Structures are given as C-alpha cells and as structure tokens.
Amino acid sequence: MNIISERRFDSKNPNLTELGEDHLYHLGLSTGSTDFKSVFGDVKFVCTAGSASRIRKLAQHLAEQSGANTDLRNLAEKGGRFVLFKVGPVLCADHGMGTPSLSILLHELFKLIHYAGCKDVTFFRLGTSGGIGVKPGTIVVTSESLNTELKPIYELRILGKLVSRPTAADPELANELVRVANESNICNAILGKTVCANDFYEEQARLDGAFCSITEEDKFAYLKLAHEKGVRNFEMECTCFTALCRLAGVRAAVVCVTLVNRLISDQVRVSPEDYANFQELPGKVIIEFLKKHNSL
C-alpha cells in the first residue's frame, strides 16, 4: 500500500515567476547557478532535525543502507547556516532550534522543490523532546501540534498583524509511523499531542532556567492540564512545521523521542549511552518507513 497520495507542490507565491534568478540565501543555492530540476527533481522525502550532527548521521545511515556513496557533500555549505545532504530521493537538512530558524529552512526548501518540479513530497521532522507522563526513550508521533496556549495554531505577524494558521497533521501518516516503530520493535511508540514552545526554560514551565517566575504548583498544574488534553511531549518546532507543510500542500509528520519525563524532572539526565541511543530512534523509524516504501 502506498499511502503517499498524488499531490504536486505548487508554490503559493506568484511573485516567484517574476524573480528571474532566486537566491536561496540561507541554503547558499541559486536558480542561476544550480539546475534544480536535474539535481533535486527526484526528491520524494525530506528529513529535518534540529541538530546538524544528528541529521548528518542519518544521511550517512541512509547512504549505507542504500549502497550509495557515504562521503556526503553539504549542498548548503555556501550559505553557512544549514547542512543539506541528498541520498537518492531523500533530502536531509538541519533546522536549528525554534520556529523562526525552522521557518527559514522550510521557505527555502519549499522553493527548492518548487523549482525542481518535485511531486508527492513528504516532510519529516525528527526531534528530541521533553515527555509528559511517558518514559524517556519513548517515540511520540504527533497527532496534533499545539502552541503553549494549547491551541492547534501557528501564529506569526505579517505587517505587524497577527495571523493564525491551522496545524492539522496527517493522521494516516502518523498512524503508519507508530505502527512501523512498534512492529519493527525499534522502541515503544505512541501517538500524542505535542506542544511547541518558543523557549526551552520559561515557556516549557521549567523551574531551572536563569529566571523563573512560577512556582512548582503552577508548573505541575500546567503540565497536568496539558497531559489531560492528550499532550505527551513538548518541543520547539511542531506548530510551524505542520502549519507550513499544510500550506505548501506537502504531507508532514513529527517524530520525536522523549529524553526526560517532565512530571518527574526538568533536567535531562539520561546516561551518555542512553542519550546516544535515544537520539537515533526517530531516524531508525524513518529508515524503516522508507524501506517499506521501497525508497532506500
């Protein structure tokens, strides 16, 4: 069963046709010097993660598994901001931490696949997160992305005015990812709502930042309210990721491993071995998914 339905990416921005050359500034790639159709035309999957070293490792695993050259070149090197690797039909890029950094990457990747004429593209975010009531090392596949008000919206300001965008995820894709993870015995995987915060400390109700204006009671009331509403983890990108992918007409899923159970601790204190293993779990799930879709 191929669950990737036919959908072609069309940029929603008519200005792009009048641009002449488009310089994707942060990727360091330009339509004037790179033939996007021949270099990127076959892309079907885009894997993103916060950390450059983690996504580089995933790209290397993908290359090993598919018998491709593992001496990967960072195609975004000239931009000096992101890494970008291509392994067959899979692009891998880091997005840094937080929605502003992610939004830059997404705008430029959407333009990239637009110029390349890619069809049926699926975007994944592979992340680390703080779990709410789940054991560290659990994979949470996001069923719904919420902001810290626990609303399923991504807010930005255009011309200084607030714009709210819905963050609806792709339930079929999310369900399949949970199934793939559990059936392949990679780890325990669940479906859950995910909260996107704009900070690691104060916005996530941690008590151990440089500043703290809340009490322990405030913190637990907030986390428990979130848990009751079905939230299983906090991270810093999901609303932007699902909202912008939706707007671009590409399928999207957020697959995060939890490194801490916030109902027990604010600090991440897993052993170095567990930490190294946990970080690789989302990538293992995606590799298994790609195998099932004959894309490796």
Q: What are phi and psi of 224, to 5 degrees?
A: -70, -35
| Beta carbon nearer to a second copy, 1 or 210 | 210
At a CB cut-off of 8 Å and minimum separation 6, what does 233 contact?
A: 129, 130, 131, 132, 134, 140, 192, 194, 195, 256, 258
| Beta carbon nearer to a second copy, 6 or 217 | 217
User: Is 127 annotated as belonging to a binding site?
Assistant: yes
Q: Least CB distance from residue 185 to a second copy, whole Å?
A: 27
Extract long-range pairs of 216-223: CB within 8 Å, 24+ residues apart.
220/263, 223/132, 223/262, 223/263
Q: Least CB distance from residue 22 to a second copy, whole Å?
A: 7
d(CA 225, CA 73) in angstroms, rounded, equals 45
User: Is 165 annotated as belonging to a binding site?
Assistant: no
Per DSSP bridges, beta strands 251-261 and 122-131 are parallel
| Beta carbon nearer to a second copy, 71 or 211 | 211
Q: Which residues pair with 163 in a beta bridge?
A: 156
| Beta carbon nearer to a second copy, 64 or 218 | 218
| Interface with a second copy (CB under 8 A) | 11-16, 19, 22-23, 25-26, 50-51, 53-54, 80-81, 96-101, 103-104, 106-108, 110-111, 114, 147-150, 156-160, 163, 197-203, 205, 207-214, 218, 222, 236, 244, 247-248, 267-269
- Residue 34 carries which side chain, given as an amino acid letter? T
Q: Least CB distance from residue 296 to a second copy, whole Å?
A: 26
Q: Least CB distance from residue 14 to a second copy, whole Å?
A: 8
- Angle 277-132-96 (CA atoms, 0-180°, nearest 5)? 55
Annotated binding-site ranges for substrate = 204, 206
